[in-house]
Amino acid sequence: MDSALIIGVGQFGCHIAKRMSELRCEVMAVDINEEHINEVLKYVTNAQIGDCTNREFMKSLGVSNYDVCIVTIGSSFQTSLETTALVKELGAPVVVSRASNDVQMKFLLKNGADDVIYPEKQMAIRVATKYASKSILDFIQLDSNISIFEMKIPKEWYGKTLAQLDVRKKFNVNIIALKRDSHVSIPYPDYKMTAEDIALVIGDRKDIQKCFKV
C-alpha cells in the first residue's frame, strides 16, 4: 500500500485524496482551512489543520515517511513554492506540485518539485484533442510525442484483418487492444475488423492522424 501526503485539499486536492483512497493508498491530508479538512475527512486515513509553510509543523508530520507528497495549493503560488521547497528539504522522496502556468511550472521544478501537475493546460489539451475529430473518442498523452488514442475504425478497414492492415509497418502505429460494447480484448493478427470495433492505438500523434486520416 502506497502512502501519500496531500497538502492543500480544496476541490482539486479533495478529488485526488478521494481517488487515492479508492486505490487503497494511505492518505494524510493537510490544510490550513478547517472546512476543507472536514470535507476530506471521510476519504482519508488521517488529516490535520496547520500551516504548511511552518517548518516545525511540517516536520512533525514525518514528511520523509510518505511515498509521495502532493502540493495542490492553488490560491497562493508563493505558499505553494515555499511548501514545495520545504517538503523536499525535509526529505520527501517524491514531490508533485500544482502549477497554473508555464512560469510557475519552471519555478516549482527548480525549487524541489519532481513533477508538476498543470490541470488547466492538461485538460484543455485533452478536450481540444478529443473533440477535434469525430473519430477520436478519448486519448492519454504519455509524453510530448507519444499518446494512446481511442479511435473509431475507418470504414475501409471493415472486414480486413490486422495482418492485412499492417499499420505498424505502414504508419509506425501499434493497435494494442480493441473494444466492443465496453469489452476490451487483445486481438490476434487474423482478427477481422467490424464497424462495432473501437481501436486503442499507441504512437506519435502525427502518425496516428495519418493512419486514421484525421
Tell me the per-residue pLDDT of 120-145, one tens digit each, with 9 for 90 and over.
888 888 788 788 788 888 888 887 78
At CA 120, angle to CA 119 and CA 123, rounded to 5? Answer: 75
Question: Above 60 in pLDDT, residue 43?
Answer: yes
Laid out side by side, the sheet with 198-204 consists of 136-141, 146-152, 198-204, 174-180, 183-185
The one-letter code for the residue type at 142 is L
The continuous run of DSSP H or E covering 148 comes out as strand 146-152
Q: Contact, 178 vs 149, CB < 8 A? A: no
Rg, C-alpha atoms of the chain: 22
Q: For residues 119 and 121, what is the distance between their CA atoms, to the nearest angstrom?
A: 6
Cβ atoms < 10 Å from Cβ of 9: 28
Tell me the per-residue pLDDT of 58-68, one tens digit each, with 9 for 90 and over.
999 999 999 99
User: In the structure, what pLDDT confidence band is assigned to residue 1 with cuts at 50, 70 and 90?
Assistant: low
The CA-atom distances, in angstroms, between 194 and each of 39, 121, 161, 162 are 47, 36, 10, 11
Cβ atoms < 10 Å from Cβ of 66: 23
Q: Per-residue pLDDT averaged across 105-123, rounded?
A: 91
Q: Contact, 151 vs 136, CB < 8 A? A: yes
Tell me the per-residue pLDDT of 147-179, one tens digit each, with 9 for 90 and over.
899 999 999 999 999 999 999 999 999 999 999
Pairing of strands 198-204, 174-180: antiparallel
pTM (2 d.p.): 0.73
The dihedral of CA 104, 106, 108, 113: what is its sign? positive
